[in-house]
Structure 1
Amino acid sequence: MTNLPIKKCKDRTMIPALPTTLPNIAIYLFFLLYCFFGIAIITDTIMCAIQRITTTMRKIKKEREKTSLVEQGMNTAQRTDEEEFEYVKVWNPTVANLTLMALGSSASEILLSIIEVIGNGFEAGVLGPGTIVGSAAFNLFTISAICVVSNITVFYISAAFSVLAYVWLFFILIISSPNIIEVWEAALTLFFFACLVAIAYAFDVRWCKRKMSAMTSAMVAKSYPSLSPEDHAKILAYRINQANTPHDRIQMTSSWRESRTEQDVVKFMTTFKTISVDGRTKPRIEWDARTYGVQRGDKKIQLKLVRRGTATQPLTAAYQTVNGTAKKDMHYLDKRETVQFEPGERSKAIELQILDNGDWKHDDVFYVHLKIKDKLPEDRTKLGQCDTARVRFVEHTDFPPFPTVEFAKNNYVISENDEWVRIYVRTRSLPIHEQNVIVYETEEETAEAEYDYVSVKNGQLVFEPGEIEKYVDIEIITDNPDQDDETFAVLITKINEEVVSAAAHLRTTITLIASDRAIQNLRNMRTLMRNYLKEMQLPHVTATWKEQIINACSVNGGDTANATLADALKHAFAFPWKVLVAFVPPPELMAGWPCFVTALGLIGSVTAVVGK
């Protein structure tokens, strides 16, 4: 008989031991899983506190710029010598991600290990080290595999340090001092962590300076020309919030679910995103129509690619279908191909297969994305505004008995410094399987033709079979000194050679905003942006204990109108934990630190129970 060392089980100091029977095992397992559920809820509170901490702002004196945008719109006599201040974040997102976020998301594993080490006389426990190493491996491999990497440089640094950490562990546990962690090894490990934070911060700061150019209000306005200034402010706030928010795997918890404003922004960014920002006269490639229509019984749809501007070089473009409410292999056949343009070639037609036996519903839509795959270095062709085509299912009942078209918007507001304005026209009742010709012209109002814009007379917009929404471009003349807002109109005069009478839907107005007015609009956009940014940053943070207790006792956070049976069952199951967490200090109290410390202590207590 082999003589094996006998270890005496330690007495349960927190939870009494029960006889090992199947019912008792089931009870232990249930409460163990319930404790894990509680840890997830408490961790959610910790993340709210961390988000509040990392959004803390400090007031700094603003250096006066020599040629700022606002100063360009003000007279020298109007300027004051008063000091200007601005608010900046205390925490860098990358530093917060590697310190506070790492602590918050791994609090249960870290506290479990600490509790075990102290309880075992500073010897490693059974669960602690394994959970920490396993969690780190899960972050490095699984999370990295399924997540989108937004900053590749910081990811490379983190991945390199993660691999080095395993090598370092092997060295100190196997080679240097087997099974013993010495003080100098612990100190050096802590120093390595500080190096990681410093290096990641340095690369992040350099990267942020480059990426901020993509977040200016001017670029947002050009990328989404059909949206209002209020929507531009939402997009700008969304981009800044995404750039400044620390990211970690714990975002899967409810504290990081998108607010309703963020969901709205993502929706219309997906719908209205058109492009890379480029000038009207620069060489570009795009779809000839923004929206194509299909009906029941259609087995194919033809889309047209057009190349504008100079076309002296060969060009290869690639396109692919993307699911919307219509799904591949259910409503259409997926297609990913390239198109070769020879020098001087201006257009190409592609064909997509439609499944007529699909369960099409009204306004089901899928998308066809376009990108430039290969071009010569000297070729400056870029994607145009219409780089995403939509294919939409159109019911026969959509068509009234008379032919009609309309402008997508009844007014457009642009800066007088813009080179052109794109106006969208869509059919409402014209046969989509026939060619339809629309005649349009410009009309003076306060803006003068050939002085403020290039006039158009008897311009033709041809809808080929299947096209239901197209565009016309009107050139804006920018070299005039006028400072007043001016307007002109675009009218549809004929539909398939039939003269149409004036109607609201056959007329759209273009307003050219003067430079000083543009500055005021910029100020208004900034004000809106701040409001939306605040709404997006802390969508779930409560300010008082009363609010927390009410939310804890309410189904679906008080939104009972949209609550389902599943929400009610989850609320009942989590009710004890919700009430317990409701007594944690609110995240708004003292910048979130009391909430963070209290929740950390609470999760430590529950973790101790799990360890037993």
Structure 2
Amino acid sequence: MEIVGSNATVSANGGGGGGRVVEDGILSINCSNGLMLPCWTPLVDVSVFEKICRGSVYFFALVYLFIGVSIISDRFMAAIEVITSQEKEVAVRKSNGDRQIVVVRVWNETVANLTLMALGSSAPEILLSVIEIWAKDFEAGDLGPGTIVGSAAYNLFVIIALCVSVIPNGEVRKIKHLRVFFVTATWSVFAYVWLYLILAVISPNVVEIWESVLTFLFFPATVLTAYAADRRMYKYVRKDYRMNARGVIVQAEALEMGNTDHLMGYDDVHEEIKQEYIVTLKQLRGQHPSCDLESLERMAHELLLNRGPKSRAFYRIQATRKLMGSGDLLKRISERAQSDLSEVKAELRRESGVAEFVPSGCRVYFEPATYTVLESCGRFDVRVARSGDLDAPLAVEYCTEDGTATAGSDYVAAKGTLHFGPGDKEKRLTLEVIDDDVFEADEHFYVRLKGSQPANSLGSPTLATVVILDDDHGGVFKFAQRDYELVESVGTYELAVQRCSGARGRVIIPYWTQDGTAKNGKEYEQTEGHLIFENNESEKSIFITIIKEDSYEKDVLFYVELGEPQMSGDAIASLAAAAERKKPEDRTEAERIAILGKPRLGDITKAQLRVRESREFKNTVDKLVQRANASLLIGTNSWKEQFVEALTVSASDDSEEKAPNCFDYFLHVVTLFWKLVFACVPPTGMFKGYLCFVVSILCIGVVTAIIGDVASHFGATLGIKDSVTAILFVALGTSIPDTFASKVAAIQDKYADASVGNVTGSNAVNVFLGIGVAWSIAAFYHAAHGRPFKVDPGNLAFSVTIFCTMAVITICVLFIRRARVVGGELGGPTCLKYLTSAFLFSLWVIYLLLSTLEVYKVIKGF
């Protein structure tokens, strides 16, 4: 388009519906057929009213196309989120030398943000630049480069201005990865300086092959330098990665398939999420003391998904779905938390369960397989059970066998056959123990099932053990073992104290607890007291309260000790006490017997109790942490799920009311066409998201090509040049989803990286990919035909210069806010944050005004 002052003429332009139209003294319109859409003819003798109507049609078509490209871009971003969220297992070495398998992300966060994430958020601008080169027979156009520069200005000035002001009063957000931000900010300014250099300084009006290729190569250079800054690679003097005392992976070594290549720079994201989950669970336990652990775990997982780290893809998709009447992703978190917890619990049950072989037919066995009886008990019953087919009769033979107890002196031998009738589930056989007055150790004998009719009907166990406790002695008191291991979720633990080698009389046993690495009041509650064993009582329990902290890796210990036993209210005890005061040779036979029968402590009188974290809790944390991943919320697994989602209307506001309102239905109806069309894109669950990635970018290319045609025709109809259409309308339309995504990220994320940090990286990638790829293709094409690739630097060089100047000012403002004024890039005092936003927004307005005036020759450019 040109501003001219001549009479109206029409000339043919290529073979199509386009032509050069010069209206008397006003303007010259050059409107050629686009790649996808022809011009709207005729172009002469058109009234002002008709021009306005055509312009309105084009404008609303652009808006509708921007909606479509936003929806398919979100499919694209969902695929990217699934791809970059993939994880793998690696072996790491702890500080003590032990090896442990941990789950780490395949993609580094910085690399993902600067490659796939940047491509996802900027795909329309990048593809528009490439498609324009193709549509214009490999000649340079104004729409693609103008959109890239205009989008960069909008992102840097308007989006950051909005993010500064939306932070709640009194709160501050600052960039976590400051080194990465500094690197990407430097590259983003350099990218546009480089554009000016190749257009107006190095080879004016010509873009040579080396210049375009170097422009593209700056893209991997940006990624590598940002990755180096993120990982502090300049500090690495060793490539041996291991786990420190806190459990954070500071170095890692690959051991998969014999590969010993060193893995560089794995983030400790899982460790941070794990610690936050545990802290959250403790807080919830304090707030809801009556809730069971499973309910607390569900609430903690829900909060974890809400507050956990999310990528720019998540925020972009969330913002777009709210705008399109598809609901708020965060409202799915409660359902997701419940389903995740149910799946994890079921998975843990499957992992801990032991597969049982249940044979066909009928089986007969002892239940239980161990019996403990007193010497004075006389007769007692042993239970034989049957399972399986209970309809048929069954006979089983049994007999007793000596152990340390001898038949005839300690028990009565028995032998016989048990008969089960139809429907009988159990039978009992009666055995007899012989009582005597001789002190002796505890003894045992066996009962065995020998044979059955029908044959092969015996099941395990076929041998029962009977332990005979001597009751002629006061007893030996001890713990069953020295070391006990229990989980902190046990609550109250029953520590058994055994009485063996006798059970005569009433005996009192003192006990108390002692601190080890476990401390009273922190890991357990101190207790002391007395156990009272009545006559013929062989076991009592000490009740110890374990304090549950839900610690992920607990390993502490304390002790329980027994004191000397004392007999109470027994004549023999009094006789023994009197006899002990006499000399041995002066004691009577009765007194010697009384001393022999006195209760005493056994060999294990001090038990060590080791308290560890609940294995179930630890496993639950591990599995839920692996699921604390936004890709599980935005990904899809089937076409059915996608079409159901496309046809469903959801509430888009943040209120508790779940019913959609009239505006939600309106948005749903408006966007329904695009939702249904792009529901045909393969789900992200297929081929790990790669198929969705490829198909989505092809769809974005098609819609972007149509946008390019409509935008050119819109400008031609209303007399607006492509460079102005690009920086004002197209850049704004493609950046609206990023605006809402950054707003949501600024409010919900505790850092500013997702809202501000990605803006600079995205701006640099736009130039290096969008212009680097497009101009490389054109430069090679023209070189193959023996001519240079010419690019008029006029409007673009001026626009780039203005943008670079203001970009440096913006970055300085952010650093001043962080270092001197607020302590962070976003938020702060109410007055200051609104002043900052107003200043940044005014920079954008000034940029638009100067660029537009230069395009129309009102002011002089370069």
Class of the TM-score when normalised by the shorter of the 2 chains: 0.5 to 0.7
Given that residues 584 and 599 in structure 1 are in contact (C-alpha distance below 8 angstroms), is that contact kept between their aligned partners in structure 2?
Answer: yes
Stretches of structure 1 lacking an aligned partner (at least 5 in a row) = 72-82, 267-410, 423-441, 454-477, 484-512
Partner of 1:122: 138
3-state SS, counterpart of residue 687 of structure 2: helix
Change (3 A) 1:239 1:562: closer
**Structure-2 separation of matches of 1:482 and 1:218:** 32
Given that residues 55 and 91 in structure 1 are in contact (C-alpha distance below 8 angstroms), is that contact kept between their aligned partners in structure 2?
Answer: yes
Count of aligned pairs between the two proteins: 383
Deviations 1:260-286 (A, max 9, x none): 4758999xxxxxxxxxxxxxxxxxxxx
**Aligned AA for 2:38?**
I
**Aligned AA for 1:193?**
F
What's the offset of the Cα at 1:515?
2.5
**Structure-2 separation of matches of 1:189 and 1:33:** 32
Find 2:330's aligned residue among 242, 250, 259: 259
3-state SS, counterpart of residue 62 of structure 1: strand
Q: Quote the RMSD (CA, aligned, Å).
A: 4.8
Stretches of structure 2 lacking an aligned partner (at least 5 in a row) = 7-21, 165-172, 234-248, 251-266, 286-292, 338-488, 493-516, 530-540, 548-555, 562-608, 710-862
Find 1:55's aligned residue among 72, 75, 85: 85
Partner of 1:43: 73
3-state SS, counterpart of residue 226 of structure 1: helix
Deviations 1:455-481 (A, max 9, x none): xxxxxxxxxxxxxxxxxxxxxxx8734
Q: Does 1:14 align with 2:34?
A: no
**Structure-2 separation of matches of 1:118 and 1:557:** 42
Change (3 A) 1:34 1:604: same
TM-score (norm 2): 0.38
**Structure-1 separation of matches of 2:208 and 2:128:** 21
Q: Does 1:549 align with 2:616?
A: no
Change (3 A) 1:479 1:54: closer
What's the offset of the Cα at 1:47?
0.8
Partner of 1:193: 219
3-state SS, counterpart of residue 34 of structure 1: helix
**Structure-1 separation of matches of 2:666 and 2:688:** 34
TM-score (norm 1): 0.52
Moved more, 559-568 or 114-123: 559-568
Find 1:161's aligned residue among 167, 187, 190: 187
Given that residues 49 and 596 in structure 1 are in contact (C-alpha distance below 8 angstroms), is that contact kept between their aligned partners in structure 2?
Answer: yes
Partner of 1:226: 283
What's the offset of the Cα at 1:33?
1.3
**Aligned AA for 2:181?**
F
Deviations 1:552-603 (A, max 9, x none): 1222299996222222111111111111101111111111112111111111
What's the offset of the Cα at 1:104?
1.1
**Aligned AA for 1:160?**
T
**Aligned AA for 1:567?**
D
3-state SS, counterpart of residue 515 of structure 1: strand
Given that residues 41 and 578 in structure 1 are in contact (C-alpha distance below 8 angstroms), is that contact kept between their aligned partners in structure 2?
Answer: yes
**Structure-2 separation of matches of 1:165 and 1:419:** 63
Given that residues 48 and 540 in structure 1 are in contact (C-alpha distance below 8 angstroms), is that contact kept between their aligned partners in structure 2?
Answer: yes
Partner of 1:587: 684
Change (3 A) 1:525 1:204: same
Change (3 A) 1:114 1:197: same
Q: Does 1:480 align with 2:558?
A: yes
Partner of 2:659: 562
Partner of 1:526: 622
Deviations 1:427-482 (A, max 9, x none): xxxxxxxxxxxxxxx99997779xx99xxxxxxxxxxxxxxxxxxxxxxxx87346
Matched ranges for 1:314-333 at <5 A: none
What's the offset of the Cα at 1:521?
2.9
What's the offset of the Cα at 1:30?
1.6
What's the offset of the Cα at 1:546?
1.7
**Aligned AA for 2:204?**
P
Deviations 1:494-539 (A, max 9, x none): xxxxxxxxxxxxxxxxxxx963244553233223333x425x4321
Q: Does 1:516 align with 2:605?
A: no
**Aligned AA for 2:644?**
I
Given that residues 61 and 86 in structure 1 are in contact (C-alpha distance below 8 angstroms), is that contact kept between their aligned partners in structure 2?
Answer: yes
Change (3 A) 1:412 1:186: farther
Given that residues 140 and 159 in structure 1 are in contact (C-alpha distance below 8 angstroms), is that contact kept between their aligned partners in structure 2?
Answer: no
Change (3 A) 1:240 1:87: farther
**Aligned AA for 2:229?**
F
Matched ranges for 1:209-608 at <5 A: 215=272, 217=274, 221-222=278-279, 225-228=282-285, 230=297, 234=301, 237-238=304-305, 241-242=308-309, 252-254=319-321, 258-260=329-331, 417=518, 480-481=558-559, 515-530=611-626, 532-534=627-629, 536-556=630-650, 562-608=659-705
Partner of 1:373: none
**Structure-2 separation of matches of 1:528 and 1:553:** 31
What's the offset of the Cα at 1:251?
6.2
**Structure-1 separation of matches of 2:684 and 2:218:** 31
**Structure-2 separation of matches of 1:249 and 1:607:** 19
Given that residues 238 and 533 in structure 1 are in contact (C-alpha distance below 8 angstroms), is that contact kept between their aligned partners in structure 2?
Answer: yes
Partner of 1:104: 120
What's the offset of the Cα at 1:34?
0.8
Given that residues 233 and 528 in structure 1 are in contact (C-alpha distance below 8 angstroms), is that contact kept between their aligned partners in structure 2?
Answer: no
**Aligned AA for 2:40?**
A
**Aligned AA for 1:186?**
S
**Structure-2 separation of matches of 1:154 and 1:30:** 39
Change (3 A) 1:167 1:479: same
Given that residues 109 and 131 in structure 1 are in contact (C-alpha distance below 8 angstroms), is that contact kept between their aligned partners in structure 2?
Answer: yes
3-state SS, counterpart of residue 177 of structure 1: coil
**Aligned AA for 2:697?**
L
**Aligned AA for 1:94?**
T
Change (3 A) 1:165 1:518: same
Change (3 A) 1:564 1:232: closer
3-state SS, counterpart of residue 188 of structure 1: helix
Higher helix share: 2
What's the offset of the Cα at 1:136?
2.2
Partner of 1:32: 62
Higher relative contact order (CA 8 A, sep 6+): 2
What's the offset of the Cα at 1:35?
0.8
Given that residues 216 and 236 in structure 1 are in contact (C-alpha distance below 8 angstroms), is that contact kept between their aligned partners in structure 2?
Answer: no
